[in-house]
Structure 1
């Protein structure tokens, strides 16, 4: 395990546990791009098939773990459906899940959060993802991996997520701290009133690895996110980067962080809801 975060592991730790039957490696990649027409997402299944950690399965968060036609594009799927999908990947209640992605870590933390939302806390994230694995000179596989189906229990922990009605109330409640996880420019151009900003790109170093807790602590202290008198709620554009901030806060001892799953996609669906901007 990495000493820098209780839910983080490095490539060497994973390599040492490749033959451990209690471990399940999961590629959580989704490709997210932006252009003049907005955001576009694409399943990472094909890049997984090209190269993945030995023995890793692919969890398609875009197609299998998301409600289609829900409040927002990435709304978490139902407990029943998640249990079916995860069990079908060969992940059972007894397994330690190692989540990683090939992008910037936010899809791995999104999967970490979905497991936690359903009561499965035995999940760690590979620091730096596939890049860190390859940088360590470790081997990759191609094609698909299949395990025998397993029994996975999903029991939703509602305190780990909030909806739009809760966030509307939070804008009038000094006991709730809304934390926007987008970059500083995006935060300045539009946010839920009363929010503070902890940009997810500032959580990682140049190699895409999570900064140490000693480096992260001042960033969160500066916005009051470590104050025990407030309840942190993280959000972003679509509920993905928000999980990276929740993950970092977990390492800093906050076990009470909720994620606004719909995030700005849901908040701005009603044009009458207020948006705060820098002057």
Structure 2
């Protein structure tokens, strides 16, 4: 198989389960935000995976093995060599294609966006892995349709990988600082309107990066069916801020560089190839007093 869509349906995946070149990856991470505010508690999805996963799926530990162990920030990209080592151990390489899913849920709250799956897929593309898709609706949709789950331990064959890194997909703090005054770059804040306006945030300084526009990552799919809205409705959210202009570059950010990858994925789906993710996002930006933060009234 040469190409697969950026997003595939549960029916599509069910039809391809027996393909020996297919690799299925569960990228679930659980986050629970304290009632009094502050940073979220992060929990691996490995136990949940062991209790039941899509047949043939392996588990990828984004919060542990696939984030930089030496970074002061959570979830930033790990050293390239480490990432490639872990992915090839999962059987992913030059001759395979991958479908990534998660449980698209915060603890106690359902979100119709597979942002942990998109985070892993984004990291893979950044390091040069190709032919990656996100499962629309994630594990929740798969289960709701009565499809099979497995508890079997999966031992994938180790793979070989020769792809090249794509540095244009990652934005640094310095890139964002330049983008604030650059009319050819669109900054998108993927957090909720409350967080964007500075009324609700786990960051030390609340608000958003100057000149950024707010497109909440969780508004693009039906919360009941978990299915994405049609492209026409998706385009409306981004066209009004000029994010689909092929002559412009887009930088997406959020709190920790996770939800921003979902926004980037949708922009790619809609035909905008010039998208980078600010990996440090507000975790890094708001922690640096020299970086300006704008707080505005919610309207």
Residue ranges of structure 1 left out of the alignment (5+ in a row)? none
Residue 54 of structure 1 corresponds to 55
Residue 25 of structure 2 corresponds to 26
Residue 107 of structure 2 corresponds to none
Which of 214-223 and 138-147 deviates more?
Answer: 138-147
Q: Is the 8 A contact 2:257 2:281 kept in 1?
A: yes
Residue 245 of structure 1 corresponds to 263
3-state secondary structure, aligned to 1:75: coil
Which of 235-244 and 151-160 deviates more?
Answer: 151-160
Give the length in aligned residue pairs: 275
Which of 159-168 and 62-71 deviates more?
Answer: 62-71
3-state secondary structure, aligned to 1:38: coil
Residue 198 of structure 1 corresponds to 215
CA separation of 1:42 and 1:154: change in aligned 2, threshold 3 A: farther
Q: Deviations over 1:133-177 (max 9, x none)?
A: 112221001153111211123521100001111111111211111
Residue 253 of structure 2 corresponds to 235
**In the aligned structure 2, how far is the partner of 1:133 from the partner of 1:17?**
14
- Over aligned residue pairs, what C-alpha RMSD do you find? 1.4
3-state secondary structure, aligned to 1:192: coil
3-state secondary structure, aligned to 2:63: coil
How far has the Cα of 1:92 moved from its partner? Answer: 1.6
Q: Is the 8 A contact 1:200 1:245 kept in 2?
A: yes
Q: Is the 8 A contact 1:180 1:195 kept in 2?
A: yes
Is the counterpart of residue 220 in structure 1 residue 238 in structure 2?
Answer: yes
Residue ranges of structure 2 left out of the alignment (5+ in a row)? 105-112, 199-206
Q: Deviations over 1:117-139 (max 9, x none)?
A: 01112000110001111122210
Residue 169 of structure 1 corresponds to 178
**In the aligned structure 2, how far is the partner of 1:24 from the partner of 1:185?**
38
Residue 100 of structure 2 corresponds to 99
How far has the Cα of 1:213 moved from its partner? Answer: 1.1
Residue 164 of structure 2 corresponds to 155
Q: Is the 8 A contact 2:254 2:260 kept in 1?
A: yes
3-state secondary structure, aligned to 1:76: coil
Residue 279 of structure 2 corresponds to 261
Q: Deviations over 1:168-206 (max 9, x none)?
A: 111121111110001111111110111001100101111
TM-score of the pair, normalised by structure 1: 0.95
Q: Is the 8 A contact 2:179 2:185 kept in 1?
A: yes
Report 1:81-160 matches (<5 A). 81-103=82-104, 104-160=113-169
Q: Deviations over 1:258-278 (max 9, x none)?
A: 000110011112123110111
